[in-house]
Amino acid sequence: MNTVLTVAALNRYLASRMKEDNNLRDLMIKGEISNFTKHFKSGHLYFTLKDRESAIKAVMWNTASESLKFTPENGMSVIAVGAVNVYERDGVYQLYCNDIIPDGAGQIFIASEQLKEKLSNEGLFDDSRKKPLPAYPERIGVITAKGAAALADMITILKRRAPYVKITVYETAVQGQNAGINIAKQIKKADKAGEDLLIVGRGGGSFEDLLPFSDEAVIRAVAEAKTPLITAVGHETDTPLCDYASDLRAPTPSAAAELAVPDISTPEQILEDYRDTVYSIMSFKIDEARDRLYYTEKKLRGELFERFQSMQTAYKMKLITVDNLSPTKLLKRGYAVVEKDGMVITESINLSTDDEVRINFADGFKTARII
């Protein structure tokens, strides 16, 4: 006897089986949009995808729809990317979309995804390959179209932020036949020219307009460049494959110029701060040296004064000693000096009878004869 199921159990079973079926994942379904509705509160998209023979309900949650680069409309031919599953409440299977691509770009998108996977597997998009940008580049090469508004914007911003930078423009077609080859050629040329930094990009355009920047030759030239390189293609929502290979992806050409060089006011402010710091340090050192000099001078003055007093006292003592030893002072005390023939006689043995001598007193001298 067969088991009796509830409707909910049946739908739950079908949903689980569909989730397990790999053939129902990562589908790309081509069809025409009808019954399109965007929920005014949640932002979820609800529509029917149909062709001449059949139709399937589809839903795209707001988390995915916010990244769409166009607005879906009824009657539009698209390729919806997603997985099929059962909406258990209503027992209806439907397509849960994570991306919607205009049909005209469908085949190109598939080829682009395949190329992306191929180059990624080769390691061309690895973070380990990415080079740091120079802090203060002096030579910047810009690879873009001649006379483009994006080029004018980049030059204006670069010159405003860093007037010292030398800008060399490597002109190339950025859309149309052979544009990819030309872009790759100019990247290689600029890479050999000794630039400090390269910027590759263009302004906004359609999906087809931006295709040259997803060309394999361009991607390889970007990845192989020895010079640090910024890609800046289209608007923020545009992501050509060369963005994955560059050292830095800028959302727009103007943003690339902002990222390429620091605002000159920044280093000037740093120098100003350094100058103030050095001035403060030098002022402190000078004040410190002045204080040391003052106290050293004061100390030396004290020492010199003490030495001067010691020397003065010693000098006075010497004068007293010398004065006490003065012959004149001895004579005044009652002593006399006897001279014979100009020689001072210090012993009596040096005199004989009848010798004539001179006797010196404090107030004069007298002549005498020895008897």
Task: Write out the two tokens for 43.
Answer: 């932002």
Same domain flag for 222 and 252: yes
With respect to residue 87, please indicate whether it lies within any of the assigned structural domains: yes
Same domain flag for 210 and 278: no
Mean pLDDT check: name the lowest of 41-55, 223-237, 253-267: 253-267
| pLDDT of the residue at 131 | 95
Same domain flag for 174 and 258: yes
313: pLDDT strictly greater than 90: no
With respect to residue 224, please indicate whether it lies within any of the assigned structural domains: yes
Mean pLDDT over the full length of the chain: 88
Same domain flag for 52 and 91: yes
Region 59-78: mean pLDDT is 87
Same domain flag for 129 and 106: no
Decide which of 286 and 84 is more confident: 84
Among 111, 140, 158, identify where a domain stops: 111
241: pLDDT strictly greater than 60: yes
The rounded percent of the chain whose pLDDT value lies above 70 is: 94
Q: Which residue, among 272, 273, 266, has the nearest Cα to 161 in the 3D structure? A: 266
Same domain flag for 276 and 364: no
Same domain flag for 132 and 232: yes
With respect to residue 302, please indicate whether it lies within any of the assigned structural domains: yes
Residue pair 54/31 in contact (Cβ under 8 Å)? The answer is: no
Determine the angle formed by the axes of helices 106-121 and 216-224, rounding to 10 degrees: 30
- Residue 358, judged by CB atoms within 10 A of its CB (0-12, 13-18, 19+), counts as middle
pTM score: 0.53
Domain that holds residue 87: 7-111
With respect to residue 2, please indicate whether it lies within any of the assigned structural domains: no
Same domain flag for 172 and 233: yes
Q: What is the pLDDT of residues 15-56, one digit of tens each?
A: 899 888 888 988 999 999 999 999 988 899 999 999 989 999
Among 287, 302, 319, identify where a domain stops: 319
Same domain flag for 91 and 188: no
Q: Which residue, among 157, 132, 26, 28, has the nearest Cα to 80 in the 3D structure? A: 28
Among 87, 111, 135, identify where a domain stops: 111
Rank 13-27, 129-143, 251-265, 328-342 by mean pLDDT and report only the highest: 129-143
Same domain flag for 174 and 237: yes
Same domain flag for 271 and 340: no
Same domain flag for 61 and 174: no
| pLDDT of the residue at 228 | 96
Decide which of 271 and 213 is more confident: 213
Count structural domains, the chain.
Answer: 4
| pLDDT of the residue at 107 | 66
